A and B are shown apart, each in its own frame.
Chain A
Amino acid sequence: MCWKSRFKKLLFSLLLTEQALAAPCCGSGFTIPSIITSDDRAQLALSYSRALIHADVFTNGDWRERKEDDLTETLKLDGAHIFSDRYQLGFSLPIQKRTRTGAKSDSSTGLGDLALQLGYEFLPDWDYNPYRPKGIAYASLIAPTGRSIYESADGSGIDARGRGFWGGSVGVVLTKSWGGWDANTNLELHNSLPKDVSNATTRGRVKPSYGGSAALGGGYNWSDFRIGALINWQYEAPTDVEGSTPSRGSLRRLATGALLASVLLPDNQSVVLSYSDQTIFGSPFNTTLAKTITLFFQQRWQR
């Protein structure tokens, strides 16, 4: 295996980490399904993450540190398969457990939002061009299989494990490596459909809007190892509510920084350990901020 090929196999770890960057509270944020950026035919990944909310940022920019624990553990299966040479299909299936301590201590386990994705390699890297990156465009469909905070049965939100809306996203992933170094970027836009909700607190229609994210990362590879860093900015337009409790929402904004270490194992297997922190970068606004540890295991199948 040439060094370029080896490094490309480790590049997947950046993309895997982005999947764990959503704001942890209430299942908000968008997931990015598995994308094959290497020269493999198929891949399957199992990941486990622990996200602990550290602080909340208000609409006036103030931060308040949490005194009780609000923990989200996610076990996720991601897969993708190439077809017709440059096309690929992928999926993401998360199971979440949320645990909260304090006056309203409780826990809840169930399915998160299911995501399906179609990718197309619009910029192939067949000749290892020194400048041109490899580019994959993708479109995702998000199914609201996880209950949202707007539909929380008792209003406490502990059973919120997803966005709760049908949604779609389009994005572009670019990757490039030079010697032992590599870089990647991911630009993504999404939108969600309104939904009628009814629970102990409200009856009405929740109207989400568009959002987007931009990620930039890089890493260094040697032997079968890679260390990398990533920063991802996320933006969500306001969510308005009509009905018994009408209200106009505020935009949400946060940035996530991540460090990760990857190792290639025999038989096309890989393991990645990552730490992501939403309190370090950017100018967060109207959001919760978490610190997350994630462990990935991935099996790939060569073409």
Chain B
Amino acid sequence: MKSLAKLILLFFISACAKPRYVDGLETRLNPASGECTVVFTTEALCLRAQWVQFPSESTFGEMSLTFTDLEDSNRKLDPRASVAIVLWMPSMGHGSSPVTIERINVGEFRASDVFFIMPGPWDIRYQLKSGDDVLEEQIQKITI
């Protein structure tokens, strides 16, 4: 019986987890100067998405979205379609709470209420929509 107890103890010990804690983002948050975060080919638009406030477990995030002509980065343009953002966690197969999009000026939008319900690898899905139909979607991958 003692041998059995030793065997079970050995079994439990050998199964120990080896945690590798990380604290910090692996993803570069904002695009470099002149760089598009994503490109919408259907409307030939460059989208620069910049974090004004990065979300955490205790705070909502906010982004500024700037749409410019793909050929002229100084020319701001409103997309013909409506703009939406969906936060999606592909590894788990679920999303997060809705993001609020507000137009500020020509080609300039504010995305607020950005919140990821759990840490991990997420997709930020930038969408051009007509009603419920997604006309084009571009994905930025990020690890929260």
Chain A positions near chain B (C-beta within 8 angstroms): 25-26, 55-56, 58-68, 102-104, 149-150, 152, 154-157, 178-179, 181, 183, 200-203, 206, 216, 218, 229, 231, 238-241, 244-245, 247-250, 255, 257, 279-284, 286, 288
Contact = CB atoms under 8 A, between A and B. Distances in A.
- Interface on chain A toward B: helix, strand, loop, or mixed SS? loop
Interface stretch (B37-45, B71-79, B86-94, B102-110): B86-94
A247 B123 contact: yes
Interface in B7-61: 8, 11-12, 15-23, 55-60
B4 A61 contact: no
B95 A249 contact: no
B15 A201 contact: no
Q: Kindly state the interface size class of chain B when it binds its partner.
A: 35 or more
B95 A63 contact: no
Contacts of A61: 20
Contact of A247 (B1, B11, B88): B88
Contact of B120 (A56, A104, A203): A56
Q: Which of A183, A201, A203 has its CB near the most chain B CB atoms (within 10 A)?
A: A201
Shortest beta-carbon contacts, A-B, top 10: A201-B95, A247-B90, A250-B91, A68-B57, A239-B93, A102-B57, A249-B93, A62-B22, A156-B97, A155-B97
A288 to B, nearest CB: 7
B6 to A, nearest CB: 12
Contacts of B96: 155-157, 201
Interface of B: 1, 4-5, 8, 11-12, 15-23, 55-60, 86-88, 90-98, 115, 117-121, 123, 125, 132, 134, 143
Given A63-B21, A104-B117, A283-B17, A249 B91 contact: yes
Contacts of A286: 91-92, 120
Contacts of A239: 92-93
- Interface on chain B toward A: helix, strand, loop, or mixed SS? loop
B121 to A, nearest CB: 6
A218 to B, nearest CB: 6
Nearest to A220: B5
A63 B143 CA distance: 12
A275 to B, nearest CB: 15
27 contacts: A25-B118, A58-B121, A58-B143, A60-B121, A62-B20, A62-B21, A64-B23, A67-B58, A102-B58, A103-B55, A104-B115, A154-B98, A155-B117, A181-B4, A183-B8, A200-B97, A201-B87, A201-B94, A202-B88, A202-B95, A218-B5, A245-B86, A247-B88, A250-B90, A250-B92, A280-B16, A283-B17
